[in-house]
Amino acid sequence: MSYLMTKILPLLVYPLGLSILLLFGALLWHRRKIVAVGFTAAALVILWVAAMPRFSDWIISTLEAEWPPATAESAPQADAIVLLGGMTRGMVPGMGFPDLSGSADRLFHAAALYRAGKAPVLLLTGGNAEGYEAEAVSMQRMLKFLGIPPDAMLLETQSRNTRQNAVYSAAILNARHARRILLVTSACHMRRAKQAFERQGFAVFPAATDYQVVEAPHTLLGWLPSARSLSQTTRALKEYLGLLVAAVAPGLQN
């Protein structure tokens, strides 16, 4: 299955895509009122629940709770710090720097680990579509801006998903006899990423960051839908789908 298909097909089972399919089914079955109403009601319920902050915080917390926040200074020593991509949205025209997404905490946490002396090198892993700057290169330029020396950074520029992050990084790390790695990624992504690198034979020490669940007062707004919460629920479902695919068909995981 192509890379593109592994990205497109899951969209149909995420809340928004599934709701659209149900509404489309309601249109096809509009002559059968009970069926059409049932499909429409199911679509609305799925969207409402998935977009509720209370629900999205709960489902994302089931992934993040395993990796409680920790300072860079408390991390163990390792042979390398591995920073996964997924924090840039593309280049800003005329600016010369990429636009950072909500996962930019990964970049700053990796820099903090290096400054704390936890490993001698940073491996930046992440490719891009043909004709576009690899994310590893973008991350390198941002880290140089933050004062990380260029000779302390290694680049892996071919990977397009988590499995490839691990597979392609393994060749670089093995060449340096690096077996203990500090893995930097979002807390909700850590379980899947850790498994991928452990399959390559590395001793993985999670350095999670980019936590989605934060302390906030519980109000009525927690039961009202929001676009942010829908995105957060989708992100959690993506991780669980990725874990399932990794278990039954590792070559297809994204």
d(CA 161, CA 193): 10
Query: Which of 68, 110, 65, 121 shows the shortest CA–CA distance to 87?
Result: 110
| pLDDT for residue 152 | 97
Report whether 109 contacts 81 (CB < 8 A). Answer: no
pLDDT digits (tens, 9 = 90+) for 37-90: 999 999 999 999 999 999 999 999 999 999 999 999 999 999 999 999 988 877
pLDDT tier, 238 (very low <50, low <70, confident <90, very high otherwise): very high
| pLDDT for residue 159 | 95
d(CA 190, CA 193): 5
Mean pLDDT over 165-191 rounds to: 97
For the chain, the domains span 3-64+224-252, 72-209
| pLDDT for residue 44 | 97
d(CA 65, CA 79): 26
pLDDT digits (tens, 9 = 90+) for 138-164: 999 999 999 999 999 999 999 999 999
Pick the CATH number of 72-209 from 3.40.980.10, 3.30.1360.200, 3.30.420.10, 3.40.50.620: 3.40.50.620
Q: Residue 86, by phi and psi: left (phi above 0), alpha (psi -120 to 50) or beta?
A: left
pLDDT digits (tens, 9 = 90+) for 1-48: 455 555 666 777 899 999 999 999 999 998 899 999 999 999 999 999
